[in-house]
Amino acid sequence: MSGTIFRSKLLCDNTWLIQGEGCTSYLVVGDERGLVIDTGFSTQNIQQYAQSLTDRPVRWAANTHGHFDHTGGNGWFERAFMSAEAAKIAKTPYPSKRALRYPLDYPVTVVGDGDVIDLGNRPLEVIEIPAHAPSSIAFLDTKGRILFGGDEVARGVMLYWQQPEPQPTVEQHARNMEKLLKRRGEFDFVCSGHGDGLDDAALVEILLEHDRWIMAGNEGTPFALRERDPNEPPPEDLVWYQIEYKRTSTFKGTTIGYDIRYVHDRR
């Protein structure tokens, strides 16, 4: 397609990575239909672009969580699947995007643990894994043997919310990784929310090891604003609260940002 900002690459049979704006999107196609996991926040029509990659109808979207960089393109689809928590915020553009026109009048289907979205001989099972966001779910594609983990199963995981307190705990993230590892026999690859291809499923084990390493008392380096990645959202979209409590931990090729007051669950 000419004039499009979208780029794609085929990851494996009937599975594409789409790079647009905001997050990384994935087109997953079964015998009957295709579905786009996370839709970015480009104002260009990602549904139309995804449809150009396959003959099967691509009318559905699904979101790993409710952050607008993952949900902004939902309105180009007939329906979006997401968690109940995601539904509360998915239609709220980030401050820097409020002046732009997004189609936001789309029906939402709420899904939770154990629900299956069937694309025709290609089921996607929902697994709730809230930490980076209270709304996070993973999609387990047992046919393609891929786990779509959003921002929870990624090389860089950010465990703080856009508020002073409370924050998600490292322990909660660890529990989620343990939950995913119970299904470890059913996937070989991980696709993450801002990734650039198929990552090895061992990433889940490394993240659990990393969580436990922090929980054992190994403290990350103090967070410094100058560490900000130029690809991060503008300051009005990403407000840092109480940075004196924030730490950045690096371990075996993964980075976890967390709040030192929220390593362990508060009981």
Interacting residues with Zn ion (CB under 5 A): 67, 151
For Zn ion, give the closer residue by CB, 142 or 254: 254
For Zn ion, give the closer residue by CB, 70 or 122: 70
Answer whether 28's CB lies under 8 Å from 61's CB: no
Q: Which residues of 130-154 are buried (b: 16+ CB within 10 A; e: fewer)?
A: bbbbbbbbbbbbbbbebbbbbbbbb
Least Å from the CB of residue 151 to Zn ion: 4
Least Å from the CB of residue 79 to Zn ion: 21
For Zn ion, give the closer residue by CB, 30 or 149: 149
Least Å from the CB of residue 65 to Zn ion: 6
Give the separation between CA 180 and CA 175, rounded to whole angstroms: 9
Instruction: Please confirm whether the linkage preceding 166 is cis (ω < 30° from 0).
Output: yes
For Zn ion, give the closer residue by CB, 33 or 132: 132
For Zn ion, give the closer residue by CB, 151 or 211: 151
For Zn ion, give the closer residue by CB, 67 or 173: 67
Give the separation between CA 151 and CA 46, rounded to whole angstroms: 20
Tokens of 5: 């900002």
Handedness of CA 119, 122, 128, 134 (dihedral sign): negative
For Zn ion, give the closer residue by CB, 67 or 246: 67
Instruction: Name 156's Cβ contacts closer than 8 Å, sequence gap at least 6.
Output: 194, 254, 255, 256, 257
Question: Whose CB is nearest to Zn ion?
Answer: 67
Residues recorded for the chain: 267
Give the separation between CA 182 and CA 184, rounded to whole angstroms: 6
Least Å from the CB of residue 118 to Zn ion: 26
Give the separation between CA 82 and CA 90, rounded to whole angstroms: 9
Least Å from the CB of residue 193 to Zn ion: 6
Residue in 121, 128, 135, 40 with CA at minimum distance from that of residue 87: 135
Least Å from the CB of residue 177 to Zn ion: 17
Least Å from the CB of residue 132 to Zn ion: 6
Q: What angle do CA 85, 91, 92 make, to 5 degrees?
A: 95
